[in-house]
Structure 1
Amino acid sequence: MTQSNIRPLRRGDLDRVAHLVGVNEMFPPEMLKGMAGPFLAGETGEHRWVVSEGESIDGVAYYVPEQLTEGTWNVLMIAVDPEVHGRGIGSQLMRHIEDELSRDGVRILLVETSGLPEFKRTRGFYDMLGYDREARIREFYAAGDDKVIFRKALKV
Structure 2
Amino acid sequence: MSDLVTLRRGVRAADIPAIAHMAEATGFFTAEEVAVAAELAEERLNKGPASGYHFLFAEDAANGLLGYACFGLIPCTISSFDLYWIIVDPRRQGHGLGRRLIQATEAEIPALGGTRVYIETSSRELYQPTQRFYERCGYAQVAVLKDFYAPADDKLIYCKSLPAIRV
TM-score, length-scaled by structure 1: 0.91
Whichever residue aligns with residue 79 of structure 1, its letter is: I
Structure 1 residues 133 and 82, CA gap change in structure 2 (3 angstroms): same
Q: Does structure 2 retain, via aligned residues, the 8 Å contact 1:20–1:79?
A: yes
Instruction: Please name the residue that 1:22 is paired with.
Output: 24
Equivalent of residue 44 in structure 2, options 28, 32, 39: 39
Shifted more, 130-139 versus 30-39: the winner is 30-39
Q: Does structure 2 retain, via aligned residues, the 8 Å contact 1:2–1:87?
A: no
CA deviations over 1:65-118 (Å, ceiling 9, x no partner): 111111000011111111111011111110111000122221100011011111
Equivalent of residue 54 in structure 2, options 48, 51, 59: 48
Q: Percentage identity across aligned positions?
A: 26
- The within-5 A match list for 1:1-150 is 1-3=1-3, 4-8=5-9, 9-24=11-26, 25-28=28-31, 29-45=34-50, 46-54=52-60, 55-150=63-158
Structure 1 residues 47 and 134, CA gap change in structure 2 (3 angstroms): same
Structure 1 residues 137 and 51, CA gap change in structure 2 (3 angstroms): same
Dislocated runs of 4+, deviation >3 Å: 29-34
Structure 1 residues 149 and 32, CA gap change in structure 2 (3 angstroms): closer
Q: Does structure 2 retain, via aligned residues, the 8 Å contact 1:2–1:89?
A: no
TM-score, length-scaled by structure 2: 0.85
**Deviation, structure 1 residue 147:** 0.5
The alignment of Structure 1 onto Structure 2 pairs a total of residues equal to 156
Cα RMSD (Å): 1.7
Q: Does structure 1 retain, via aligned residues, the 8 Å contact 2:15–2:41?
A: no
Q: Does structure 1 retain, via aligned residues, the 8 Å contact 2:121–2:127?
A: yes
* Long gaps (5+) in structure 2: none
* Long gaps (5+) in structure 1: none
